[in-house]
Amino acid sequence: MGCRDVHAATVLAFLSGTASVAGLLAAVLLPNWRQMRLYTFNKNERNVTVYTGLWIKCARFDGSRDCVIYDPQWYTAVDQLDLRVLQFALPLSMLTAVSALFLCLIGMCNTAFVSTVPNIKLAKCLVNSAGCHLVAGLLFLLACAICLTPSIWVIFYNNYLNRKYEPIFSFDISVFIAIASAGGLFFTSVLLFLWYCACKSLPSPFWQPLYSHAPSMHSYASQPYSARSRLSAIEIDIPVVTHAS
C-alpha cells in the first residue's frame, strides 16, 4: 500500500474522527452527566430527579418530561469538581480533534489531487501526506486522553458522592457517549498510524515532503569542481606513435 494514493483506511479514519467529534459535541450539550433522585414518602407527591449537565440543570417529576426547575446559569455555579474539569477538558478535546481532522483532510487532498511529478522549484514546499496523517494521529490520541480521563473520573467521583452523602447519585448517558467518543478517537489514531507504517519505506523523512528532491536531480547532477580538475589532468591529449610498416 503506497501512501501517494487515497485508501479506505484514511477515508475510514476521517469518517470515524468526524463521528467521534459529533459524539463529543452531543455529550457536551446534553444535560445528562449525573442524576440525583430525591424520594418522598408522601403518597400525594411524586419523586423528583435532578439532571445535571455541564452547562444546565433540570429537575423533573417522575413520568414528566418538562423541567419544573430549569437553571441555564448552572455553568457559573458548578459545585462538583469532576463536572468543572469536564467543562474545560471536553471543549479542548474537541478543538484538538478538529485540528486533527483538518490535517487529515489536507493529507487526503494532497494525495488525491497533487501531481506525482512536482515542480523542482516547489519541491521543498510540498505538503507531506504521510507527515500530515502522522501528526493527525498524534492529535487524535491526545484528544482521546483529554476526553477519556475526566469522563472515567466521573464514575469514581459519583461513588465518592454516594459514600459522602446518600446513595442518590448516578451517572447518566453522557458519560457513556463521551467514553465511546474517546474510543472512536483512539480507533482513528490507530488507523492513521497503520497507514503511516505502510508509507514508512519511502526514502524521504516524515517531516519533509514525499519528494524532497526531484528525481532528475540525483541522476544528472554535475560533479564538483575538484573532481573535474583532477579529471582534466588525466584527459590531456597524448600523441600516439605508430610504426609504419
Global confidence as pTM: 0.72
How many structural domains does the chain have? 1
Would 168 be classed as within a structural domain?
Answer: yes
CATH number at residue 18: 1.20.140
Would 234 be classed as within a structural domain?
Answer: no
- pLDDT at residue number 160: 87
d(CA 90, CA 30) in angstroms, rounded, equals 13
Would 222 be classed as within a structural domain?
Answer: no
Would 205 be classed as within a structural domain?
Answer: no
- pLDDT at residue number 99: 93
Would 210 be classed as within a structural domain?
Answer: no
Host domain of residue 92: 8-31+78-199
pLDDT digits (tens, 9 = 90+) for 95-151: 999 999 998 888 887 766 655 554 444 444 455 677 788 889 999 999 999 999 999
Would 242 be classed as within a structural domain?
Answer: no
Would 20 be classed as within a structural domain?
Answer: yes
- Torsion sign over Cα 127, 131, 137, 138: negative
- pLDDT at residue number 148: 93
pLDDT digits (tens, 9 = 90+) for 51-105: 888 888 888 887 777 777 877 877 787 888 888 899 999 999 999 999 999 988 8
Would 226 be classed as within a structural domain?
Answer: no
